[in-house]
């Protein structure tokens, strides 16, 4: 229960102890002996701010923020910034390179002075972080989200003095990076998050820097490697080369790396994969699926979706690190473990010059599930053991945010991860901030955890609700707790995320109805307080989709089902859709996948389906004014880049339960097929047939999938017997997109970016 439900306003009471119960602990030294230090007197800022000359842009921004915070706390506009020594009362900001990297020390002194010392050597920003800690711990300022949305909270004071003190602090993790700044997406300033990230002390002190997806294969094509050394590029199963991906099994690729390292170190051409003394090994943004004899020896189809190509990649990394160690002992190999090569192979061992950035594919929010958390922790532990050094972590904030409208929050999951890995990780690069109003509290905790995960969650949330929402604090505090508990405490029976698990286990309808009432109550209690209303409007933005999706799921009317019509015979698979079997098959039109304002596509697409006791056939008619310009250059079975062609995606859950198990197919206009089971491309759909046909202003596609391709599922026999599957379809239209629109459409959509959004899966009903 909150102690107060009114705005924080202390008219005359001086602050004699720090307001820091909701902050991480710092190291206190014995307090100096002198009189109390006055900061605000009669609503006037007492000290000036004394700064060094020639401020860096980063330090200048922090100093300006401090002046703003002093003014905001006092209600005055008199905070002054000067350079050089000051005889009178002052907040003195100075460098101390003897402090730890990014570290600071803050202490009071006689004659009403406060000193903020920081280590600002190299990329360290100790003076900046000291300024922000002083602003939080002493002035009582908080910033929970960007200023553009009212995210800064002050404790207004007519008078403020503090007892003598001395404390210091430095971060527990070197790597504290979040990207990108998502402000532009909301129509606001392009750098709307800059002030927020600065306040939360984002920085990267770690010397081993990864250059993601480098070397870029297209750069190597421009340098002539496609003709001179085609063997260093991935081999498709149809015998053609995929010039979008290197082959990491071919000895020529290792030679290419070594040659380019020697060339760059000798002052020649840039290699495209060296940053400082770190050599990046990071394949292109697709799964490694090379069919050459060298890679096939190491490819393990039974090693799960995160490890099928791990042996290929770690073999390459080990050979490269050995070659570098002999000639360049000062260099380190930084390897991004990603997609289907995240896991560390059993008994792997590397020299001391290999460091791994582990890409946690599920998204940290999903670590709340014990099975996922233990699996991901094992991956980290295995890499630490194999390399003999800490790992870097690449995390996704946008996953699984992109697959559900649920405004989940996961502060305890975040803190637990960093407490468990404080001696195993250098820190994190956090990627993808697509919906920051839905994740603002999680972002706050995440960046705080990277500084120091020893934070009192309850104290932070109590302070947050009271400071930000005033008279509406009570319902908002309860709402936030429901968002956290619904996600973190309600574990899924099968450990998988789906619309069913979201709206029957995590956030059942009765809870969502209560959350809707709490939000309404908060707006009512806010009255005409414009600042609180601004904050509430920002916070409430994602709830409209959540409430709508919950109601639709509960009513059973959320999505359009696909009717699979029984046919006497399977259609002839020639792509023409002219068999008699299609006559009674009801078509479903696609809609624009991500456009909430305009649903009708520029290039319409329709899907039909028929079934027989052997299997199902899907038929697609795709409007296309330039069928001769269909994109096909990424084709080839199992090509990880096939999605970039003009294609159709098919998602099927053959259990019909909607429990998160699904099969995926990507099929283009010239026979290219990608098939996977739960994102594992090692699964192959035996017996699949597909064919396309190009008309004057369209192309069409037929795809037959036999029931025998699936190990288990529910299948009709002589009659439908009420059998249903679940699934969805997407179309990626690329053709002639330099002059016309590249368009992304789906049969059903809840407007999330991921094609495999399980909340979009509708019933596939077998009918007669």
633 close to 641: Cβ distance less than 8 angstroms:
no
Q: How confident is the model at residue 182, as a pLDDT?
A: 56
Of 414, 294, 389, 392, nearest in space to 338 by CA: 392
CA 388: distance to chain centroid? 28
CATH topology of domain 562-767: Immunoglobulin-like (2.60.40)
Beta-strand relationship, 354-359 and 562-566: unpaired
DSSP code of residue 345? P
For the domain 9-170, what is the CATH code?
3.30.379.10
Angle 273-276-280 from CA coordinates, rounded to 5°: 30
Q: How far apart are CA 358 and CA 381, in angstroms?
A: 11
Of 340, 438, 458, 425, nearest in space to 397 by CA: 438
Q: How confident is the model at residue 568, as a pLDDT?
A: 80
Provide CB contacts within 8 A for 520, sequence distance 6+: none
Of 604, 561, 563, nearest in space to 731 by CA: 604
Q: Which two three-digit tokens encode residue 392?
A: 């870097």
Q: Is the peptide bond before 726 cis (omega within 30 degrees of 0)?
A: no
pTM value is: 0.85
Q: How far apart are CA 614 and CA 706, in angstroms?
A: 6
DSSP code of residue 389? S
Q: How confident is the model at residue 14, as a pLDDT?
A: 46
CB atoms within 10 A of CB 601: 21
Q: How far apart are CA 590 and CA 258, in angstroms?
A: 50
333 close to 353: Cβ distance less than 8 angstroms:
yes
Q: Which two three-digit tokens encode residue 565?
A: 């019509």
Q: How confident is the model at residue 500, as a pLDDT?
A: 86
Provide CB contacts within 8 A for 313, sequence distance 6+: 248, 281, 283, 288, 335, 337, 341
Q: How is 410-425 classified by DSSP, letter by letter?
A: -HHHHHHHHHHTTTTE
Residue with tokens 């896991």: 343
Q: Which residue ranges of the chain lie beneath pLDDT 70?
A: 1-17, 181-190, 434, 557-558, 635-640
Provide CB contacts within 8 A for 706, sequence distance 6+: 614, 615, 686, 687, 688
Q: Which two three-digit tokens encode residue 62?
A: 């922090």
Q: How far apart are CA 104 and CA 92, in angstroms?
A: 13
Q: Give φ, ψ of 472 to 5 degrees.
A: -95, 15
Chain segment 72-113, per-residue pLDDT in tens: 999 988 889 999 899 999 999 999 999 999 999 999 999 999
Q: How confident is the model at residue 639, as a pLDDT?
A: 55
Q: How far apart are CA 712 and CA 659, in angstroms?
A: 14
Helices (H), 305-369: 310-327
Q: How far apart are CA 471 and CA 532, in angstroms?
A: 9
What is the C-alpha R_g of the chain?
A: 29
Q: How confident is the model at residue 513, as a pLDDT?
A: 98
Q: How far apart are CA 38 and CA 43, in angstroms?
A: 12
Residue with tokens 């999951």: 413
Q: How confident is the model at residue 10, as a pLDDT?
A: 40
Q: Give φ, ψ of 726 to 5 degrees.
A: -135, 160
Q: How far apart are CA 664 and CA 681, in angstroms?
A: 9
Q: How far apart are CA 85 and CA 186, in angstroms?
A: 44
Task: Give domain limits for the chain.
Answer: 9-170, 209-356, 467-555, 562-767
Chain segment 21-32, per-residue pLDDT in tens: 999 999 999 999
Q: How confident is the model at residue 681, as a pLDDT?
A: 82
CB atoms within 10 A of CB 407: 27
Q: How confident is the model at residue 703, as a pLDDT?
A: 97
Of 109, 112, 107, 113, nearest in space to 130 by CA: 107
Q: How confident is the model at residue 336, as a pLDDT?
A: 98
650 close to 680: Cβ distance less than 8 angstroms:
no
DSSP code of residue 671? S
- Biggest CA–CA distance in the chain, Å, is 97
CB atoms within 10 A of CB 110: 11
Q: Which two three-digit tokens encode residue 435?
A: 């919906």
Q: How far apart are CA 433 and CA 446, in angstroms?
A: 12
Total length of the chain: 768
């Amino acid at each position: 229960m909150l102690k107060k439900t009114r705005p924080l306003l202390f008219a005359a009471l001086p602050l004699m102890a720090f307001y820091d119960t909701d902050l991480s602990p710092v190291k206190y030294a014995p307090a100096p002996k002198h009189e109390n230090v006055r900061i605000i007197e009669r609503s006037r800022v007492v000290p000036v701010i004394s700064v060094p000359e020639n401020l860096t842009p980063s330090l200048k921004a922090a100093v300006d923020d401090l002046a703003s915070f002093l003014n905001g706390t006092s209600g005055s506009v008199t905070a002054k910034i000067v350079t050089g020594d000051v005889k009178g009362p002052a907040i003195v900001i100075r460098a101390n390179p003897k402090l730890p990297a990014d570290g600071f020390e803050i202490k009071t002194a006689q004659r009403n002075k406060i000193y903020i010392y920081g280590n600002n050597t190299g990329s360290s920003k100790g003076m900046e972080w000291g300024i922000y800690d002083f602003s939080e711990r002493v002035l009582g300022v908080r910033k929970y989200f960007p200023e553009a949305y009212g995210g800064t909270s002050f404790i207004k004071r007519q008078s403020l003095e503090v007892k003598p003190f001395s404390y210091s602090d430095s971060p527990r993790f070197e790597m504290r990076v979040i990207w990108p700044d998502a402000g532009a997406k909301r129509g606001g300033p392009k750098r709307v998050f800059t002030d927020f990230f600065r306040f939360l002390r984002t920085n990267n002190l770690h010397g081993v820097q990864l250059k993601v997806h480098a070397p870029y294969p297209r750069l190597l094509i421009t340098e002539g490697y496609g003709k001179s050394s085609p063997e260093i590029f991935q081999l498709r199963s149809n015998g053609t080369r995929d010039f979008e991906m290197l082959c990491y099994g071919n000895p020529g690729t290792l030679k290419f790396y070594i040659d380019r390292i020697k060339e760059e170190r000798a002052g020649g051409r840039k290699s495209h994969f060296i940053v400082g003394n770190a050599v990046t090994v990071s394949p292109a943004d697709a799964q490694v699926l090379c069919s050459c004899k060298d890679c096939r020896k190491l490819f393990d189809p039974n090693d799960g979706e995160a490890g099928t190509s791990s042996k290929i990649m770690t073999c390459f990394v080990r050979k490269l690190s050995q070659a570098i160690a002999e000639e360049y002992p000062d260099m380190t190999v930084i390897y991004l473990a990603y997609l289907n090569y995240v896991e560390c192979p059993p008994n792997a061992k590397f020299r001391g010059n290999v460091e791994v950035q582990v890409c946690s594919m599920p998204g940290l929010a999903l670590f709340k599930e014990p099975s996922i958390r233990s699996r991901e922790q094992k991956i980290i532990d295995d890499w630490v053991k194999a390399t003999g050094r800490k790992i870097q972590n690449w995390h996704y904030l946008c996953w699984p945010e992109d697959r559900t409208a649920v405004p989940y929050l996961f502060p305890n999951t975040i803190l637990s991860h960093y407490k468990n890995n404080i001696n195993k990780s250098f820190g994190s690069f956090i990627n993808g901030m697509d919906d920051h109003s839905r994740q603002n509290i999680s972002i706050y905790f995440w960046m705080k955890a990277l500084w120091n995960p020893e934070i009192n969650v309850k104290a932070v949330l109590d302070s947050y609700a009271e400071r930000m929402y005033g008279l509406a604090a009570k319902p908002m505090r309860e709402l936030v707790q429901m968002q956290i508990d619904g996600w973190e405490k309600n574990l899924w029976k099968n450990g998988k995320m789906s619309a069913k698990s979201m709206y029957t286990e995590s956030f059942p309808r009765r809870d969502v109805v209560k959350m809707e009432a709490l939000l309404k109550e908060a707006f009512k209690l806010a009255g005409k307080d414009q600042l609180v209303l601004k904050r509430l409007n920002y916070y409430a933005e994602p709830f409209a989709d959540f409430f709508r999706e919950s109601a639709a799921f509960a009513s059973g009317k959320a999505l359009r089902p696909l009717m699979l019509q029984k046919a006497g015979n399977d259609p002839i698979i020639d792509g023409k859709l002219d068999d008699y079997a299609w006559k009674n098959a009801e078509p479903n039109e696609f809609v624009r996948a991500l456009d909430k304002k305009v649903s009708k596509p520029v290039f319409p697409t329709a899907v039909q389906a028929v079934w027989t006791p052997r299997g199902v056939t899907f038929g697609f008619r795709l409007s296309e004014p330039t069928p001769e310009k269909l994109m096909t250059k990424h084709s080839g079975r199992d090509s990880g880049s096939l999605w970039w062609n003009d294609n159709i995606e098919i998602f099927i859950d053959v259990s019909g339960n909607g429990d998160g198990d699904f099969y995926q197919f990507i099929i283009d206009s010239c026979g290219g097929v990608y098939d996977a089971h739960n994102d594992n491309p090692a699964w192959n759909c035996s017996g699949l047939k597909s064919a396309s046909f190009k008309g004057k202003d369209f192309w069409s596609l037929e795809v037959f999938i036999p029931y025998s391709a699936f190990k288990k599922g529910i299948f009709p026999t002589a009659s439908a017997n009420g059998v249903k599957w679940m699934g969805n379809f997407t179309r990626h239209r690329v053709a002639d997109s330099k002059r016309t629109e590249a368009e992304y459409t789906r049969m059903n959509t809840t407007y999330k970016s991921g094609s495999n959004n399980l909340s979009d899966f509708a019933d596939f009903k077998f009918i007669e």
